[in-house]
Amino acid sequence: LPVSSVVAKPAPSPVARQGYLVLHEDGQVQNFGKHATFGSATSGVPVAIRRHPIADGYWIAAASGAVDPFGAVSALDSLSHLSLNAPVVDMAVHPTGEGAWLAASDGGVFALGQAGFYGHAVDLDLVAPITGIAAHPQGGGYWLCSEDGGIFSYGEATFQGSAASIALAGPA
């Protein structure tokens, strides 16, 4: 598959040096290393693939908020029945694998399963759209990243600085 079709950063293995999965814009999943693929995205425009931290499987999130499980992972809630104000752009998995967060480009955050909700950036006057979310290692919060390098921290995720004041060569 051409490199230009990659839509999400790789989903690394929970076991060091065991490989990763790459999600392509057509929903296909490509494996590198010792990981099997269990299926491809079927619920709309794919935006993120995330491995379970323990079980052999992964989830694919779509811009609509749909989350499809593959392999030995439990189904998570889906937002596809809602009318979202902005598309989902990324997903972070709770360290237990029993929940996840979806981030929308307008700063909306949606907690699924056992993942707690710690806040969102919807009410902020964002200079640039949100492009990513990362979970706190213990699951007690998360960071949002905006296209201009801005970082927004929630819960136990502490703010350590951002690249918002730096002229970036491309979007974060």
pLDDT at 2: 41
The pLDDT of 33-40, averaged and rounded, is 70
Give the model's pLDDT for residue 29.
84
pLDDT at 4: 41
Whole-number Cα distances in Å, 165 to 87, 115, 138, 172: 26, 31, 29, 12
- Rounded average pLDDT over 66-73: 92
- Measured between alpha carbons, how far is 125 from 17 in angstroms, rounded to an integer? 40
- Give the tens place of pLDDT for each residue, 128-148: 999 999 999 999 999 999 999
Residues 78 and 43: their CA atoms lie apart, in Å, by: 10
CA distances from 84 to 31, 64, 79, 87, 101 (A): 31, 7, 8, 7, 15
Q: Tell which residue, 40, 35, 66, 65, has the closest CA to residue 52.
A: 35
Segment 111-126 shows an average pLDDT of: 96
Average pLDDT over the chain, rounded to an integer: 85
How high is the pLDDT of residue 63?
94
CA distances (Å), origin 4, targets 7, 8, 168: 8, 11, 21
Which tens digits make up the pLDDT trace of 76-89? 988 878 899 999 99
More confident residue, 168 or 54: 54
pLDDT tens string 15-33: 555 778 888 888 888 887 7
pLDDT at 97 over 60: yes
Rounded Cα distance between 151 and 147, Å, is 10
